[in-house]
Structure 1
Amino acid sequence: MARRTKASVKDAATEDGKTAEAAETETAVVEPIEIPDDWVFIGKSTKPEYILLKLANRHGLITGATGTGKTVTLQGLAESFSDAGVPVFCADVKGDLSGVAAMGKEKGWIKERAAMIGYDVKFTAHPVIFWDLFGEQGHPVRTTVSELGPLMLSRLMDLSDAQEGVLNIAFRIADEEKLPLLDLKDLQSLLEDLAARANELTTRYGNVGKRSIGAIQRQLLVLEQQGGNHFFGEPALDVGKDLMRTDDEGRGYIGVLAADKLMQSPRLYATFLLFLLSELFEELPEIGDPEKPKLVFFFDEAHLLFRDAPKALLEKVEQVVRLIRSKGVGVYFVTQNPRDVPDTVSRQLGNRVQHALRAFTPAEQKAVKSAAETFRPNPDLDTEQMIMSMGIGEALVSTLDEKGQPSIVQHTYVKPPSSQVGPITKDERKALMEKDPVAGKYDESIDRESAHEILQKRTEERAKAAAEAEAAEEKSKTTTKSSGGSRGDGFWTALGKSVVRAVVPMATRVLEDAIRRNALGGQRRR
């Protein structure tokens, strides 16, 4: 049993941003918490707050202003899912999440928070696989152009409707002519081929405008400069296998995507994470509601996915989020404001953790009010006021109960993580990468024959055939111009040609004399 003096309660509460007056209301003696195996423990209000493991695939939302503790909450949830044997995938936007791979240390605030809520922190490292689209801070992550598809590729390049239409035609022709689209140069070569055949293709598929093709080529060049050439290629990530691993102890691997550099290309970041969700949706079988999820996916900076997204893409996201639950995947969006997530998606997020929001402007106050209204009301709690007054490490929590209904919102102190808070060193990261389950599998790229090589051969064959035809035509002309009858002429044919050559000049001279006489007005005297 953990015992605390009133003074120590005040100190800890003040460090976490809580007022001393509120701290005095805390009990001085806190009973230790017993955590069942089917819980994902979040923290403590007047009672333990948790996500039921069997309902964790009903998705969730973690929101709050910068610096209010979202990353620590995410880290703690990832640890709990891993301990329960559930693989996790999350993006490390600031570099802090890499610490989940190292054992935590007893710090003052961790000790105080653990004592405040009666939580026994067992410091430990967790199994981690580091990923990086650029291959610098993790294993390279690649996919092929054809796997990404025209819809998400159009979103990535911000194409107009006409340009997206041309891109759809390009993918259709690639399928029909068996042209594998693996990397960016494959798509660039295909578009060049389409431009050369534009007149032929327009009558069959619709307008294939050279101007639209040129615009797409320019966007591909921009994408390549932003690092897209690292993303497209082979070997492609085996989503169904390498994102859903467990270690020898039965703990789920936590896939950590290095996203600090990736965030400089927000469209690439959002498109990549949506692609992963879509691949999981396509590959995994229907299993209904399992006892625990097969994978939990944390989508940090989620507002980047929905900002300026076209209707077709929003419909795609809504469909994936709605249906992927039955495949055992839980999706948790992490963002600053709950309004960043469209209503069609937000209504599907059953487990919610709301950290503090700051409201200095009318628009921000409206956002706070909107956030408060998303919770099931607590008659003993002013939700709107609490959102603006909470300190670091505090949150409003509402999760699904045994009946699948949202629980009454509770003001909660979030548990501290058992792994290291803050990033690990480059040497530590490198050592972990060298011995993880995918070491050496994706590190070297493969460039097999695909659309670029096939179209290059086709162009060379066309050029060769054209050169041969031109040579044959020149030869034919040379033969025709040769003097005299050909060797194949018969006697009468040769005789006819000789007569013509003798008579035609004579007739021509007679005609010229007659014309000259008439022109001079003279007539021949009789």
Structure 2
Amino acid sequence: MTGVLTEDGVFVGGGGEGYGVPQQLTLKYGNRHGLIAGATGTGKTVTLQILAEGFSSAGVPVFMADVKGDLSGIAAAGSETGKLHKPFMERAETIGFDLNYRSYPTVFWDMFGKKGHPVRTTVSEMGPLLLSRLLGLNDTQEGALNIAFHLADKEGLALLDLDDLRAMLRHVGEQAKEIALEYGNVDVRSVGAIQRQLLVLENQGGDQFFGEPALELSDLIRTDSNGMGQINLLAADQLMASPQLYATFLLWLLSELFEELPEVGNPDKPKLVFFFDEAHLLFDDAPKAMVDKVEQVARLIRSKGVGVYFITQNPTDVPDGILSQLGNRVQHALRAFTARDQRDLKRAAENYRTNPRFDTEIAIKEVGTGEAVTSFLQSKGVPGVVERTLVRPPQSRLGPLTDAERADVMANSGFGAKYDTTVDRDSAQEILARRADAAAKEAAEAEAKASAQSGAASKLDDSFAEFNNARRDEPASKAKPRKTSTRSSRSDSVVTTFGKSLARQLGTKTGQALVRGVLGSLFKSR
């Protein structure tokens, strides 16, 4: 009898009469990536569950998304009283598998913080490329977003959440003319379009994904006290209502693993296995630059010890450049109802190393639920001959946990104190708000000072005017009426001229003070 692990790897299944030799996924080639494909209801979820069990038993941490909500049972042991126990025992006997029910160390994560510990990142860590894809921005809008990120870095403004990004975009819009010579024109309409898309993202709940404390990757790559790999399960049933957010989050996580993990070459077993369910969402309407990035990450991340396994209905959902890198494959049944389905079936069959005992194309069409056509890398990384395989039954529960059971697992994970409470530290929004307040206060003080100086000048003018009027009203001297009149006129002219000159000087200084106050505050705010 064979257990979850064989001498070299993870036991996947075997066969009785009409089936091939037992199939295993060699741990040494677990980081060479893989594919689990098949139509709805053909057994992809069970295959995903038993592979996660196998990697965990080998001490390899796993990350996977629970799209339908039924993978949470991996945290509980299967039951001999369950309705599936009898068929499971029959399958185990047929393929020579020693079925022992047990649970696996599981940590639940949830972007919305309802069915798992909150998983967050910051806007800065997401970066403009992925954020542009998430928001569906065009090239012009993406350019404006890149400028916002660059200015934030230059001015030391941390972009942690969506409020920070909104504040930074307002700052860019207000400084559009000043930054045009250095960064190019920034269309305020593009800034407005980005703000509207941020509102849409917030309405979808995406604002809960951005903030702190941000997820530390080291908390995903752990083993328990028995050496079992931690299974990280992302609750994605609600997240799937926003498929763009789901795909972007998983792509971000994959990119972060690529950026942060050190090179390990060819390890004896993977450091982490990453299961990407509903993989077609990653590539639907994705620009070529994005697909190229995914292909690059998939090609290089295996040297970091990370295996990536794509789960989808049809292998054609995955671009050829990525599909060619997936060495470990489990192909469940494909239905060929249309001409296109038949072409896809033919293409799927052509991706396997042929077995003279059967026609691969026919086998893919005929295998039943819980059966698959499999091929795993063998010695020196050579693809194995395709085989028809009965997939082994899971040792953990097949089906979801109850709410109480999930809550109990979360309470014992040890991550609640670290991630469950949001932290809002000083960042771009607060800093820019303080700058704006300081500028407004300085401008108000300058205006008040200017008003006071202008009032003083006005009073001086009034005093000179009253003095001139009083001199005119005095009776002229009989002895020298003409000279007195001339002297009085000159005196009035000199006094008036002096008063006006002084008023102009005061007015000029007031104006200069006001300009310095306004421009100075603007430059300080920059």
TM-score, structure 2 normalization? 0.86
1:157 to 107, 113, 135: 135
* Corresponding position: 1:44 with 2:18: no
Q: Is the 8 A contact 1:33 1:48 kept in 2?
A: no
Correspondence list, 1:162-177, <5 A: 162-177=140-155
1:194 to 162, 168, 172: 172
Runs of 4+ displaced beyond 6 Å? none
Whole-angstrom distance in 2 between the partners of 1:126 and 1:212: 49
Matched residue SS, 1:143: coil
Query: Any idea what the Cα deviations from partners look like across 1:20-60, whole Å, max 9, x if unmatched?
Result: xxxxxxxxxxxx34753431111114211011101100000
Aligned residues: CA RMSD? 1.7
Shift of 1:197: 1.1
Q: Offset at 1:485?
A: 4.9
Q: Supply the distance in 1 between the matched residues of 2:419 and 2:452 (Cα, whole angstroms).
A: 55
CA distance in 2, matches of 1:495, 1:458: 55
Query: Is 1:205–2:179 an aligned residue pair?
Result: no
1:477-498 CA-partner distances (Å, limit 9, x unpaired): 2222222359xxxxxxx99562
Distance 2:446 2:344 in 1: 72
Query: Counterpart in 2 of 1:108?
Result: 86
Amino acid of the structure 2 residue aligned with 1:333: F
Question: In 1, distance between residues paired with 2:120 and 2:496?
Answer: 81
CA distance in 1, matches of 2:58, 2:8: 8
1:296 aligns with 2:239: no
| 1:430-459 C-alpha deviation (Å, 9 max, x unpaired) | 001101132321000000000000000011
| AA partner of residue 121 (structure 1) | L
Alignment size in residue pairs: 465
| CA deviation map 1:392-436 (0-9, x unaligned) | 001010111011011111111100000000001000000011011
SS in 2 for 1:440: helix
**Can you list the C-alpha shifts for 1:371-403, whole angstroms capped at 9, x where unaligned?**
111111112211111111110001010111011
Is the CA contact (8 Å cut-off) linking 2:74 and 2:106 kept in structure 1? yes
Aligned-pair distance for 1:362? 0.7
The answer on whether the counterparts of 1:37 and 1:84 sit within 8 Å (CA) in structure 2 is no
User: How much has 1:502 moved relative to structure 2?
Assistant: 9.3
Please give the alpha-carbon distance, in whole angstroms, between the structure 1 residues aligned to 2:489 and 2:12. Answer: 111
Q: Structure 1's 369 and 497: CA in aligned 2 closer, same or farther, altered over 3 A?
A: farther
Amino acid at match of 1:58: R
Structure 2 residue aligned with 1:461: 438
1:146 maps to 2:121: no
Output the CA distance in 1 between the equivalents of 2:289 and 2:420.
34
Spell out the pairing of 1:15-54 with structure 2 (5 A cutoff): 32-33=1-2, 35-45=5-15, 46-54=20-28
What are the within-5 Å matches in structure 2 for residues 330-341 of structure 1? Answer: 330-341=307-318
Q: CA deviation at 1:473?
A: 2.2
Letter in 2 for 1:215: A
1:248 aligned counterpart, secondary structure = coil
Matched, 1:71 2:65: no
Specify whether residues 103 and 481 from structure 1 end up closer, same or farther in structure 2 by C-alpha distance, changes over 3 A only: same
- Structure 1 vs Structure 2: percent identity of aligned residues? 59
Aligned partner of 1:62 among 19, 36, 58: 36
Structure 1, unpaired ranges of 5+: 1-31, 487-493, 504-526
Find the counterpart in structure 1 of residue 381 from structure 2.
404
Distance in 1, matches of 2:63 and 2:116, equals 13
Q: Secondary structure at the match of 1:96?
A: coil
Residues of 2 paired with 1:283 and 1:173: CA distance?
24
Q: Distance in 2 between matches of 1:63 and 1:502?
A: 96
CA deviation map 1:254-312 (0-9, x unaligned): 00000000000001100110111111111110010101111000000000001111122
* Paired residue type of 1:129: V
Change beyond 3 A, Cα 1:496–1:425? farther
Distance 1:474 1:398 in 2: 85
